[in-house]
């Protein structure tokens, strides 16, 4: 029969094994929890990146190929698409740099005239006529002089006429109609790019007109999106103007019809179920 001392030692060994087993189980639980948290974080970040990346106009294979084969050219473009510089007379100097990405979907219509003396005050009115109704736009020269000048210039040379709005996203915090690509593919634009005009305070409430970009600095072109809900995005896209109430009513009708989901799950949304063609974009004031 074991002595009292032997019984105590055996009990201590059993207790030690139980404590070690509990510690190992706790370590496994912490490790599994960390894996789950990491996976969820990656999924959330990837989803956000996909939603935002969908605004860049690079949703097809041609754009992906152009982007992947032109790293050096992209770096050079970013170096020359410099931010606007304010002149002594209150105008700004805009840099419209050649797009050297090799993208075959670009349309060469020249560049906005007199970029060294771009107006930086007042507004420009545009009438975006579509087969679903007229959408009046007001461009803000003070907040985004280079984007406003480019937008108005492209309208003046009929760059947008006959193009479709190729993408619609209808989510509670991300509701936009994306247009501005003459090819209708999501990869087109002019043969130049320019710098984003943003601040940390840039937001995208309902009625905002904002410029899409590729996600790289200095990659703004012609594609734009019209926000029909308060849209939550990082301040990376130039807010160039606003849509009036009459235009928002047209957008609400388009949004109510939804989209075909052709861009799901990434970057999200799809072609609008109510097709939208820009019949003309004209400068009215």
**pLDDT value, residue 192:** 97
**pLDDT value, residue 39:** 42
- What 32-41 contacts at long range (C-beta under 8 Å, 24+ apart), as own/partner pairs, is none
Distance (Å) of CA 108 to CA 152, 182, 184: 16, 11, 16
Does the model's pTM come out above 0.85?
Answer: no
Could you tell me the two tokens for 169?
Answer: 């996203």
Parse the chain into domains and list their residue ranges.
Answer: 57-283
Give 10-residue mean pLDDT values along the chain (285 residues). 56 59 64 48 40 47 28 37 90 96 94 97 98 98 98 98 97 96 95 97 98 94 98 97 98 97 86 98 92
**pLDDT value, residue 3:** 62
Cα 34 from Cα 112, distance rounded (Å) = 53
Question: Diameter of the chain by CA atoms?
Answer: 106
Residue owning tokens 């009513």? 249
Cα 110 from Cα 96, distance rounded (Å) = 10
* Superfamily the domain 57-283 falls into: Cyclophilin-like (2.40.100.10)
């Amino acid at each position: 029969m074991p002595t009292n001392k032997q019984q105590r030692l055996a009990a201590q060994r059993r207790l030690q094994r139980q404590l070690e087993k509990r510690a190992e189980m706790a370590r496994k639980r912490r490790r599994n929890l960390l894996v789950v948290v990491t996976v969820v974080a990656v999924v959330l970040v990837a989803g956000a990146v996909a939603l935002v990346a969908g605004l860049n106009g690079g949703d097809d294979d041609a754009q992906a190929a152009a982007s992947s084969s032109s790293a050096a050219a992209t770096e050079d473009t970013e170096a020359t698409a410099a931010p606007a510089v304010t002149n002594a007379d209150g105008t700004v100097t805009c840099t419209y740099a050649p797009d050297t990405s090799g993208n075959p979907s670009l349309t060469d219509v020249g560049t906005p005239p007199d970029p060294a003396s771009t107006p930086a005050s007042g507004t420009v009115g545009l009438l975006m006529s579509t087969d679903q109704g007229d959408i009046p736009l007001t461009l803000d020269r003070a907040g985004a002089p280079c984007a406003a000048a480019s937008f108005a210039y492209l309208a003046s040379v009929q760059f947008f006429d006959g193009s479709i709005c190729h993408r619609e996203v209808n989510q509670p915090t991300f509701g936009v109609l994306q247009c501005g690509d003459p090819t209708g593919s999501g990869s087109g634009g002019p043969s130049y790019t320019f710098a984003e005009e943003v601040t940390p305070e840039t937001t995208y409430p309902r009625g905002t007109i904002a410029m899409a970009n590729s996600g790289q600095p200095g990659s703004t072109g012609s594609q734009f999106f019209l926000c029909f809900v308060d849209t939550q995005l990082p301040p990376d896209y130039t807010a160039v103007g606003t849509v009036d109430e009459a235009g928002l009513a047209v957008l609400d009708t388009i949004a109510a019809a939804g989209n075909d989901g052709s861009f799901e799950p990434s970057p999200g949304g799809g072609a609008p179920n109510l097709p939208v063609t820009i019949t003309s974009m004209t400068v009215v004031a």
